[in-house]
Amino acid sequence: MTVSGGFGVSVSRTTNTNGYFNFLITPTVIGGPYTLQYSVNSPQGNYSTNQNSLIVTAPLIIPVDKILQGVTIAGRVGTMPNMATSNPNGIGVGRSQAKEYWTGGGSTLFLKPQRGYFDGVDTWTYWNEPNLLPSNIKSGTSIFGVEGNMPPGKRSLSMNFIYDTYPVKNPVLNFTVPNVNFTPFLVYADFSSSGSVNGTGGGSGPSGTYLGSVSNLSKGEMHAASNHVDFYLSFSMSGTNCNVSITANQTFTLDRGNVTIYLFE
């Protein structure tokens, strides 16, 4: 007997003494319904008949890596780890160390979990950062729930100014340092210039004609020939601008040079 039907294969067998035989067909053509065609060759003659039909569908593919570990579907056992019931890193059930972390330079921490199923109830992925300590965080600041206890450091700022030769009198020079986000305790001005007092003693060199430094806590001095100039520094805050004034006790001429203003909290 031969069984066929347009589904890509056929099978032929010899029947048993009762006229029966069992057969298994693996179709190769998807579709249908296909009518089953039976052909019989025997000493008594050749016979054929069409009975029943079948529909051929695509094979069922079971992705075992998408099935939870220990679960069987259509005879295939899943391999996806159950992170809710496992303890891969030895710190507790449902706790697993992230494969890596990323911040992108911002304030958001991204964690890449291990492969597996997370139930979203009591399943956690973590990253151990030994530097995440209260002593490394400024007092009054919390990072991921860790309250800092490190005393805040003192801030500082500096800015350089260049000026040309001109006669000056009290106040001598005015400077504005912008974008100061703290209240200075010490303002210090460091000059690189030469000058003359009332037209005498000008020039540069080791003769004492250089104006050195002055701060709000100590006066500065410049000696030129028989004249002596005292300098005093004061400052005030206007928003985030620090306005610095340097005054002198007499008129003098200051050559082209530069001054660096330092602000200390």
Q: Is 149:139 a contact under the CB 8 Å cutoff?
A: yes
pLDDT for the residue numbered 100:
95
Tokens found for residue 208 = 């004492």
pLDDT at residue 89 is higher than 80: yes
User: What digits encode the pLDDT tens for the residues 30-87?
Assistant: 888 988 888 888 877 888 888 888 888 888 888 999 999 999 998 899 999 999 999 9
For 145-202, how does the pLDDT look when each residue is reduced to its tens digit (9 = 90+)?
999 998 877 889 999 987 665 555 555 788 999 999 999 999 998 876 555 555 444 4
Output the CA–CA distances (angstroms, integers) from residue 199 to 174, 195, 216, 244, in the order listed.
22, 9, 27, 26
Which uninterrupted H or E stretch holds 129? Answer: none
Has residue 132 got a pLDDT over 60?
A: yes
Strands 124-126 and 95-97 turn out to be parallel
Is the per-residue pLDDT at 123 higher than 50? yes
Residues 6+ apart with CB under 8 A from 26: 9
Does this model's pTM top 0.85? My answer is no
Mean pLDDT, the chain, integer? 83
**pLDDT band of 252, cuts 50, 70, 90:** low
Q: What is the pLDDT of residue 85?
A: 94
